[in-house]
Structure 1
C-alpha cells in the first residue's frame, strides 16, 4: 500500500474495532471456505443496501451523487462512475475493508458487490449484474462493472 494511503485508511478504522474485526475474519477463514465467505459478504451487502435505499436517479451523475451521499454517511469512502459502451464502470475508493486484515481482502469486497447489485437492481438495472473486476489495490480502490455478464 502507498504509505500515505495506508496511513489514512488506518486512521479511518476505529481502534476499538481493529482487533475484533481481524480476529473475526481469521476465525471465519478457519471455519469457512473463500467462496462461502464471498457469498456471506455479498448477502451482508444486500442487507446493508436494503436498509439504506437510494432515491430515484435520472442520470449517471445523479446516481453517483446518491451513492456518494450514502457512503459519506457511513464513512465508507467514495465512488466514481463512468458509462462505457457495454457497462457501467464503478470504482470505489477508500472502503475500510482493511479493518478485517489484509488476508480478508480476498473476500470482503463481495460486500460492495452485494450493495451495488441491490441498489442498482432496485433502480431498474434488472437483468444486469455487478461483478468485481479488480483487486483492492495499493491506492485503496476496487473496480466493479454493471453489465451483462455470463453466469
Structure 2
C-alpha cells in the first residue's frame, strides 16, 4: 500500500519523465554492478554541483540556506544540517529518487552524495568525506555524514 510520501513524490514528478527514468535505471542496472552504479551517480552529482556552484558560506546556517535554495530551485526537496561534534549530519528530504524505481534506491542517493561532496570540497572541506549513512527505507529521507575518513 503506498504511503502519503509515496503519493506526494509520485505527484511531484512530471509524467513525461516517469517511464523514461525507470527504463534508464533498469538499463543502467542491467549493464553495471552496484558499485559502478553508485560511482556513476556520484559523478553525476559532482557534475551537477560544478554546474550549480554555491555562494560562499560562513556558517552551517548559511550553508543550509544555500543548499536549500539550490534544491528548491529545481524542486529536489530540502536539507537539514546538524553539527554532531565529530561529524556534520546531512539529511536530505524529498529528492525524487523513487522516480528511478524502488530497486534504484540502493544507488541513486549517490547523486546527492556526489553533489554534497563537490560543494563541500569547493568550500574548503576537501579533507573530509561525505558518507551515506545506510540505504533509505522509503526514499524520502537520505542521511549522510561529513567526517574525516577513517583509515
Q: CA RMSD in A?
A: 1.3
1:64 & 1:14 partners in 2: Cα distance? 27
Unaligned stretches of 5+ residues in structure 1: none
Unaligned stretches of 5+ residues in structure 2: none
TM-score where L is the length of structure 2:
0.96
1:82 & 1:73 partners in 2: Cα distance? 22
* SS of the residue 1:113 aligns to: helix
2:101 corresponds to which residue? 101
How many residues are treated as equivalent by the alignment? Answer: 151
Cα pair 1:80 1:92 within 8 Å, conserved = yes
2:98 & 2:85 partners in 1: Cα distance? 32
2:122 corresponds to which residue? 122
1:104 & 1:135 partners in 2: Cα distance? 10
1:42 corresponds to which residue? 42
TM-score where L is the length of structure 1:
0.96
Off by >6 Å, runs of 4+ in structure 1 = none
Q: Specify whether residues 21 and 9 from structure 1 end up closer, same or farther in structure 2 by C-alpha distance, changes over 3 A only.
A: same
Cα pair 1:2 1:138 within 8 Å, conserved = no
Cα pair 2:83 2:89 within 8 Å, conserved = yes
1:108 & 1:3 partners in 2: Cα distance? 20
